[in-house]
Each structure stands twice: as structure tokens, then as C-alpha cells.
């Protein structure tokens, strides 16, 4: 089943982010992984998951609501990345790399709806 969300740039960037975050966090020490790391992984995974779910919704209002949730998860991910940078768990500038994803996601949110 090749669902339509898989062709969206926002989804592709979000899924890639989630994979990269997971690869980094798995190597953290137990305390950092169990506290900040799990929250970061969940937030990053939530972005792609909500974009995918939005594509499966019929009504524009439902789609937009889920895309807003994805954007909230993007902000949460940014926060966690900044915290990880401050703790020297992630390299400086990791949070700044979210700009392309943010633009793609905002494009989906602002896309005119039929009707």
C-alpha cells in the first residue's frame, strides 16, 4: 500500500529526522536517554505520524487540526534538541536544521482547501 503521505516532502523530512534522532539517542547514557532522549524521540516521531494521519482524513478541518498537532510536535522537538545541545548530547546547530521541515509543514497547513 503506497499511501499518499509518503510522497509529501514534509513527511519525508519528518521521517528522516525521526530516524536520525533515534540513531543519536540510542547511544546516550541511561539517564539522558530515559529522560530527555525518549521525549525527543517521541516528539520527532509524532511529526511524521500526524502528517500521515492528516493525509488519511477526509475533511479539511480534520487534516488541518492534525497538521497543527504536527507543528506543535515540531516545536517540542526543537526545544528538546536545544536542551540536548546545551547538555552536549547533540552537536550545536541541530535544532537549526529544522527550517526546511518547518517550511514544508507550513506549506501543507496553508494549502488552500477545496470547497
The pLDDT tens digits of the residues spanning 2-30 come to 678 887 999 999 999 999 999 999 999 99
Q: Does the domain made of 4-109 have the CATH classification 2.10.210.10?
A: no
Q: What is the C-alpha to C-alpha distance for residues 70 and 51, in angstroms, rounded to an integer?
A: 6
**pLDDT value at position 115?**
45
Whats the size of the chain, residue-wise?
115
Report domain extents, the chain. Answer: 4-109
With a threshold of 0.75, does the pTM exceed it?
yes
At 33-56, the pLDDT tens digits run 999 999 999 999 999 999 999 998
Residue 47, SS3 per DSSP: helix
Contacts of 36 (CB under 8 A, 6+ apart): 80, 83, 84, 87, 89
Q: What is the C-alpha to C-alpha distance for residues 94 and 65, in angstroms, rounded to an integer?
A: 27
Amino acid at each position: 500500500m503506497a499511501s499518499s503521505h509518503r510522497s509529501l516532502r514534509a513527511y519525508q523530512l519528518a521521517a528522516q529526522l525521526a530516524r536520525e534522532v533515534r540513531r543519536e539517542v540510542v547511544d546516550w547514557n541511561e539517564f539522558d536517554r530515559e529522560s530527555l532522549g525518549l521525549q525527543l524521540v517521541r516528539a520527532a516521531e509524532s511529526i511524521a505520524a500526524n502528517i500521515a494521519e492528516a493525509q488519511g482524513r477526509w475533511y479539511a478541518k480534520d487534516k488541518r487540526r492534525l497538521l497543527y498537532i504536527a507543528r506543535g510536535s515540531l516545536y517540542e522537538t526543537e526545544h528538546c534538541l536545544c536542551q540536548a545541545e546545551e547538555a552536549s548530547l547533540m552537536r550545536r546547530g541541530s535544532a537549526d536544521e529544522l527550517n526546511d521541515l518547518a517550511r514544508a509543514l507550513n506549506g501543507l497547513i496553508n494549502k488552500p482547501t477545496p470547497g
